[in-house]
Amino acid sequence: MSGRSVESIQRELKTRYRNLDELLERQAKFGINTPLDLINQIHDEREAIAGLEELLKTAPAAEPAVEASQTAERRGRGAALQTLDDRDWDNLLRRIKDGNCTPFLGPGLGADILPSDREMAQAWAAEHRYPLLDGDNLPRVAQFLAITRDAAFPAEDIARRWQTLKTRPNFREATEPHSFLAGLPLPLYITTNYDDFMFQALNYRLRKASRELCRWNNYIRDLPSVFDPGSTVEISPASPVVYHLFGHAELPESMVLTEDEYLDFLVNISRDQTIIPRRIQKALVNTSLLFIGYELTDWRFRVLFRGLIASLERSLRRTRVAIQLAPQPPENSGITADHVRWYFEDYLAKDDVRIYWGSSLDFIKELHRRWTEFNERNEPA
């Protein structure tokens, strides 16, 4: 097996990841009554994936790097995924102008301030002697700590680290991601991050913002909400809402962090459709969705995209999804950016999405430039 090429291992990894996704979806439906054989299958798939990822570090490349489009055509993929072209940008800008766009904020937006999920996992793995090969997988390392320390330790430790941060985003910079997004006329921002940077940016922009979180567990279910019946809070571009889908650090019990918590989250929102407020559900169906700051291997993105977005009836989804992704291969793996793109294409090809290939900051700069030009073109004479 040591003589296998990157291409061969990548093909098996794709299959393994698909199998794992299907098994996790089945587990979410069973909840606490998951059959033992299904638990064993999930364990076996994870072990196989960890072994294959380790093997990639020494595997020889099977073919020279070529243009992704040429290789895709040679492999018979056809036009699997489409990138954002000028028409897509124009559609996106018009929907932003009309307030019909819902951004989803991922961890990449705070990369200059906060450790990445991978860095956080690696730090924990080193500090607490994590015994498995996937020490860069945050939910799995967090699960290990929840078992070996106590269930509250991972969220409380992250909350403590976040509260002692000495560096904050510079909202005076025109292309600081949160500050720029806060200047757009949008009524709703959905974040899967635990920080409060988006809320701070809106306050800096003097917008009367509210901060909400998903009440996915019993510890936080009875907290008051602007989405409660009888609430007098108006949700509009003038008074937007920042919705923390996976909780925030100021309330550790709200955070979705470990593997079990991600599965519990999926189980709970599938059993009780009122957990996601009707206003949020309507936004998922009726507005263009813009994902910024995610990696495909990020559990937040996979649970969000496969567990929540994909659960909506396709016939109800009237608008396209735009996703900013950075095709950044793992260090010292022998994997090229083209390999990463091929994997993304296989994973997302059945969904109606448009991709921007590049970093979060590059995307924000491009969006800033196009937004400025769009407004200049559409100013009243």
Q: Are 51 and 318 a contacting pair, CB within 8 Å?
A: no
CA separation, residue 107 to residues 50, 98, 119 (Å):
23, 27, 12
How far apart CA 200 and CA 188 sit, in angstroms, is: 15
pLDDT of residue 31: 58
Q: Are 281 and 289 a contacting pair, CB within 8 Å?
A: no
Of the listed ranges 62-66, 127-131, 204-208, 303-307, the one predicted with least confidence = 62-66
pLDDT of residue 312: 57
Instruction: Single out the residue in 143, 164, 185 at which a domain terminates.
Output: 164
Q: Are residue 30 and residue 130 in the same domain, yes or no?
A: no
CA separation, residue 94 to residues 88, 91, 370 (Å):
10, 5, 11
The answer to whether position 70 is within a domain reads: no
According to DSSP, the residues that pair with 67 across neighbouring strands are none
Each residue's pLDDT tens digit, 296-324: 777 888 788 777 766 555 444 545 677 78
Q: Are residue 24 and residue 127 in the same domain, yes or no?
A: no
The answer to whether position 77 is within a domain reads: no
The distance from CA 46 to its chain's CA centroid, rounded to whole angstroms, is: 20
- Tell me the mean pLDDT in the region 75-81: 42
- Tell me the mean pLDDT in the region 283-290: 88
How far apart CA 337 and CA 118 sit, in angstroms, is: 18
Q: Are residue 125 and residue 224 in the same domain, yes or no?
A: no
The answer to whether position 68 is within a domain reads: no
The distance from CA 209 to its chain's CA centroid, rounded to whole angstroms, is: 23
**What is the percent of the chain with per-residue pLDDT over 70, rounded to a whole number?**
79
Note the pTM of the prediction, 2 decimals: 0.78
Helices (H) and strands (E) in the chain, counts: 14, 8
Instruction: Single out the residue in 164, 196, 226 at which a domain terminates.
Output: 164
How far apart CA 292 and CA 177 sit, in angstroms, is: 10
Top mean pLDDT of 66-75, 218-227, 230-239 is at 218-227
The answer to whether position 323 is within a domain reads: yes
Three-state DSSP class for residue 179: helix
Q: What's the structural domain count of the chain?
A: 3
Domain that holds residue 28: 6-63
Q: Are residue 100 and residue 185 in the same domain, yes or no?
A: yes
- Tell me the mean pLDDT in the region 55-70: 53
Strands 188-191 and 321-325: unpaired
Strands 210-213 and 188-191: unpaired
Q: Are residue 297 and residue 359 in the same domain, yes or no?
A: yes
pLDDT of residue 22: 77
Instruction: Single out the residue in 164, 189, 204 at which a domain terminates.
Output: 164
Q: Are residue 285 and residue 192 in the same domain, yes or no?
A: yes
pLDDT of residue 257: 96
Q: Are residue 39 and residue 159 in the same domain, yes or no?
A: no
Of the listed ranges 15-29, 153-167, 358-372, the one predicted with least confidence = 15-29
The answer to whether position 74 is within a domain reads: no
Q: Are residue 134 and residue 231 in the same domain, yes or no?
A: no
pLDDT of residue 66: 41
The answer to whether position 69 is within a domain reads: no
